[in-house]
Amino acid sequence: MSEYEFLTASEPFSLRYEKLKELIAGAQRIVFFGGAGVSTGSGIPDFRSKNGLYYNMPEEYGEVEPEYMLSHKCLYTQPELFYTFYRAVMDVRSYKPNAVHKYLAKLEKQGKMEAVVTQNIDMLHEAAGTMKLFKIHGTIAKNHCCSCGKVWGKDYIFDDTDPIPRCACGGMVRPNVVLYGEPLPPDQFRGAKEAIWKADLLIVCGTSLTVEPAAGLVSEYNGENMVIINEQPTKYDQWADVVFHEDMNEIFGKLKEMEDDI
């Protein structure tokens, strides 16, 4: 048993960082569970932090809640509002992977990563090279027609100039993302659950663990060690072997640089 067991966020950073390196080195089936905070290092705002979307809404939307504008109800009852907002805040095609995405892809190449489970829809894990990926909130990479089911590429909705994007058949084209009020894709959720169950190290990063049912996946973990990296405390901090409330990009940047020097 390590001398650094159960290090809270109040312990010296150096001890926690050494513990993280030790856990990664000793693991064979790592699962990374990431939220919106993972992509902030690429310049994409998250949702609930002080710099996030919920606290910095464009003035033209007044008091309308962002949850509503990204909801199933808004899409089908006020589609023009939905697409105006979606195009304004969800077009992240120009952003690039950061240190977190790149380090995880490296772990996969080393054969240590069982899977990455992401709540993000931004395609940055794919761009970094990760292959074993469960996208439990969908992706902007694809869109589909609500009438005939035809699949359209990632650019179709963002580049279309019509207020409501239409398929060749005339049906409305919607993004392949999970909106508020919709269930998670069963295949992705099931795969994520199975991967977490098999893991011997779970790294939870950039998520407040407040949105269900995605957050409940953490409770499925039955492995030996868990690490939580998030700027704010989470309800699962007490169960983690080591907790970081520091900038994840600095942590993963150090890990990647260390391996690059080997």
Residues annotated as part of the active site: 137
Instruction: Name the token pair of 7.
Output: 């290090």
Q: How far apart are CA 39 and CA 252, in angstroms?
A: 13
The H or E element containing residue 115 is strand 113-118
Biggest distance spanned by C-alpha atoms of the chain: 64
State the angle between helix axes of 13-26 and 248-260 in degrees (0 to 180), rounded to the nearest 10.
Answer: 60
Would you tell me how many other CB atoms lie within 10 Å of the CB of residue 37? 27
Question: φ, ψ for residue 228 (rounded to 5)?
Answer: -120, 125
The DSSP symbol for 226 reads E
